[in-house]
Structure 1
Amino acid sequence: MHMSENILSFTIDTEITPDAYSDLIRFFYHHYVLPRISHFVNIFSDNTSFISFILPDPMGRWWAKVEIVAGRPIAVRITTWGPVPKRVIEKLREDIFIGVQIFEEEVRRRSFYFAWVEGEPVIPERAPSKSRNVIYRMFTESMVFFFIIFIIIGAFLFMIVRMYAPLMLVVLQFILFLFSDKIIMRLGNWQITPEKPSVHILHYHLRDEEHKIFRRKFSRETLMKIKAEIYEKTLAVGRRVDFTTANEVFSRYGFTCRPESMSIKVINVYDIVKKAAGKFSLPIPKIVIANTIIPNAAASGPCPSRGILLITSGLLVQLEDDEILSVVGHEFSHLKGRDPLMLFMLSSAEYLLRVYVFWPFLFFLGYFYLFLALAAVYFIAKFFEAKADLESAIRLGRPEVLAEALRKIGFRRLQFERMPTYRLQEWLRWDPHPPLYFRVSRLERISDVEKIKHPFIRSIKDNIAGFIEALRMQQ
């Protein structure tokens, strides 16, 4: 019987610079192909920009040929012959994607980034401080962490006002929630406006031999001086950041840049947010940028008219414009549905019921009751996050782009979630987000977004089905 060939082609957007293409090919050879050398045949690489290998069926019924071409974007082609199981193709695709992300993570360790907003202060890139991280989680992670923090505060209030402490605590939380937009504003470093719409990012990839020398030679203070000088010579006088100017400044400090190692991009954040706002029929919220390497975005605020959107420069570095738009769409779903308020009400209701109604159960069940109650609250919170994924896909019409963005941001979690045991743990975690494997596969399975009429109901069903499937995998 004649078996025809089938070809699956896809691309992976990447932030790596041209001088790292050969490193990517060697990375795949040494870290993916060689450890599985007994599984592959016909391995070929030019050690520059191309690698290919064939995965044959041990029984000779099928084979799958993988070809990877380094570039921007990275081009991948999987050619299959015979009845190749779908799970094999999916695993190959996921392996390649995760491999690219792991390589990019290594490249970032040997790279430096400068980010600027025209007309805003020049500040260093940094990891978020512990205090900022706590405040950030309190007001952006579906308000559940916010609620847990106040349980601790409530213990102290109880010693003062006794039985009225829970009510006072909820009132205090609500007051802070009403001002959450102003609190989040203080977490950002730059504000994006129609007059200052863009973030400018310079990325430079250091070679292995340069990396240690560069880190030893250039202190944080020196890099800040260089960053400020580049800004003064370009954006401050109405010019774009360019290689020539950047190299000129670095040369004065004893470092010569290579054009193939530098990439510069401009992200018009205001236009991206404006487009998402139009799709959701919402006013444009306040937009702030946190100049931190952690890739993230979050929306908060007591109502859509007082909404605020926080985006990190790390997210802008890792994602392309359409991927940023899909993530922003996810956050707009939270604003449109008033999800922070809904989850605040849910958490507060559970707390008040536990204190005033269900307190006898605490004597019998103790911490087990608390675990069940909070697990239930977080599980319900997952409905809202899954709903936001769906609404972003529906409004913007490209679920696969959001799936790609989630893969990039959370590829490390995807690695762990390949294990069935870990998948169940992710469902039971005190985390408002469903497991990443579930979110990605769910988005990739959507064939016609227009047929989804009730995203929240659909999300409840999908979450319950996903949890049950994870339970079955344990058997």
Structure 2
Amino acid sequence: MPDCGVMQMPSRFRSDRRLTVRMGLTLFLLGLLYVAFVAALIALLRSWVLVVVIAALALGAQYWFSDRIALFAMRGRVVEPAEYPALHGVVDRLSALGGLPKPVVAVSELDMPNAFATGRTPDHAVVCVTSGLLRRLEPAELEGVLAHELSHVAHKDVAVMTVASFLGVIAGLIVRFAFYSQLFGGRRDQNTAVVLAGVMGVSAAVYALSFLLIRALSRYRELAADRAAALLTGRPSVLASALTKVSGDIARIPTRDLRTAQAFNAFYFTPALGSDPGLSRFFSTHPRLEERLEQLGRISAELGEPTAPGGA
């Protein structure tokens, strides 16, 4: 879409050098892993191009249509200012304060309190909140959550995470391709079986390594989004209040009711985990609640914010 000569204001979301360095380092390490992966495939296979093409198409679809895919998956719908004037008012104010184009605003009719942002660029972004979140949060708390989500947009987190996940997508597809090829490919000689086993082993190892790298980056970007939101609004204690309230309410939802939502944890403001997340916390897309609250407490002290949220 042409910009019609309109000059976009620079984002006032504070740039995060540590986040930029970590994103760059993660992409560099994934790039090295990708080179090693391709080299191993060349040594093991003669025709792997089709799998890479399919993975590239999947990546392209995820990158270009991530906003529509996410809205469909979360049962979100775009809402107009007349339907949700207060919600649009907060997004208008934060977008102007942050120097960002106003994103599309959507609401999901899920009772689970949460929010997410998606879109490949600030000009193609969507911010969605659940009806459960709107019912539970005070206006100031909602502003803190939306500032967190807009910081993801400002830092282009969705685009970076999509590119970073490309290697894992390829590796996962190759594992499935090799597995089903071995199951349904008919009789094979011993050499073919060895090659397939090698492909599956290399792909599984690459998938595991890329999974861990991406999860580590994802946890840090959530801390960066909390920090940017707290500095933009100047009210870290209100964001901490929203985090505590949302996490506590999610923990009281039966685990069986969270299973569908857990597939989309990487999108959410806070993950859909039950009261006893167990070992999954070590592979989580988000840092521990205590870690997020400690960071917000430090920022609150630095800003000289009163300990009580005030109008929250």
Class of the TM-score when normalised by the shorter of the 2 chains: 0.5 to 0.7
Residues in 2 aligned to 1:367 and 1:185: alpha-carbon distance in whole angstroms = 30
Higher helix proportion, which one? 2
Q: 1:178 Cα shift?
A: 0.8
Please state how far the C-alpha of 1:388 moved relative to its aligned partner. 0.6
Higher strand share: 1
Q: Residue 255 of structure 2 aligns with which residue? A: none
Residue 262 (structure 2) pairs with residue 376 (structure 1):
no
The answer on whether the counterparts of 1:322 and 1:401 sit within 8 Å (CA) in structure 2 is: yes
Percent of residue pairs bearing the same amino acid type: 24
Give the match for residue 302 of structure 2: 448
Give the match's secondary structure for 2:165: helix
**TM superposition shift of 1:196:** 3.2
Q: Deviation of residue 440 (structure 1)?
A: 1.6
How far 1:367 moved relative to its partner? 4.9
Q: List runs of 5+ in structure 1 lacking aligned partners.
A: 1-160, 199-267, 416-421, 451-475
Q: State how 1:220-235 maps to structure 2 within 5 Å.
A: none
CA distance in 2, matches of 1:317, 1:392: 21
CA distance, structure 2, for counterparts of residue 309 and residue 334 of structure 1:
10
1:179 maps to which residue? 65
Q: In the superposition, relative to structure 1, how do residues 290 and 277 fare at CA in structure 2: closer, same or farther (>3 Å)?
A: same
Mapping 1:14-413, distance limit 5 Å: 162-186=48-72, 188=75, 190-198=77-85, 268-349=86-167, 367=204, 370-411=207-248
Higher relative contact order (CA 8 A, sep 6+): 2
Q: Which runs of 5+ in 2 are unaligned?
A: 1-46, 175-195, 253-275, 305-312
Say whether residues 1:428 and 2:282 are aligned partners.
yes
Distance 1:436 1:165, change over 3 A: same
Match of 1:214 in 2: none
- Alignment coverage as a number of residue pairs: 212
Q: Which residue of 2 aligns with 1:437?
A: 290
- Relative to 1, partners in 2 of residues 1:436 and 1:397: Cα closer, same or farther, differing over 3 Å? same
Q: 1:282 to 1:372 in 2, by over 3 A?
A: same
Q: 1:191 to 1:172 in 2, by over 3 A?
A: closer
The answer to whether the 8 Å contact 1:333/1:392 transfers is yes
Could you tell me how far apart the structure 1 residues matched to 2:200 and 2:62 are?
32
Q: Deviations over 1:303-350 (max 9, x none)?
A: 111111111110011110010010001110111111011011111145
- Counterparts of 1:373 and 1:306, CA distance in 2: 27
Shift of 1:301: 1.0
Contact 1:414 1:437 in 2 (8 A): no
Aligned to 1:232: none
Provide the C-alpha distance between the structure 2 equivalents of 1:404 and 1:287, rounded to a whole number of angstroms: 23
Q: Residues 384 and 306 (structure 1 numbering): CA distance in 2 closer, same or farther, change over 3 Å?
A: same
Residues 443 and 182 of structure 1: is their aligned pair in 2 closer, same or farther, counting only changes over 3 Å?
A: same
User: What one-letter code is carried by the residue in structure 1 that aligns with 2:166?
Assistant: S
Tell me the CA shift for residue 372 of structure 1: 3.7
Q: How far apart, in 1, do the equivalents of 2:171 and 2:90 lie?
A: 42
Distance 1:184 1:408, change over 3 A: same
Change (3 A) 1:332 1:366: closer
When residues 281 and 371 of structure 1 are mapped into structure 2, their CA distance, relative to the original with a 3 A threshold, is same
In structure 2, the CA distance between the partners of 1:280 and 1:297, relative to structure 1 (3 Å rule), is: same
CA displacement 1:423-464 (0-9 Å, x = unmatched): 9945522x32111121122212222259xxxxxxxxxxxxxx
Larger radius of gyration: 1
In the alignment, is the contact (CA less than 8 A) between 2:76 and 2:128 conserved in 1? no
CA deviations over 1:375-425 (Å, ceiling 9, x no partner): 22211111111111111011111111111101111126889xxxxxx8994
Amino acid at match of 2:123: S
- The separation in 2 between residues aligned to 1:351 and 1:315, in whole angstroms, is 32
TM-score, normalised to structure 2's length? Answer: 0.59
CA distance in 1, matches of 2:290, 2:55: 37
Corresponding letter in the other structure for 1:168: I
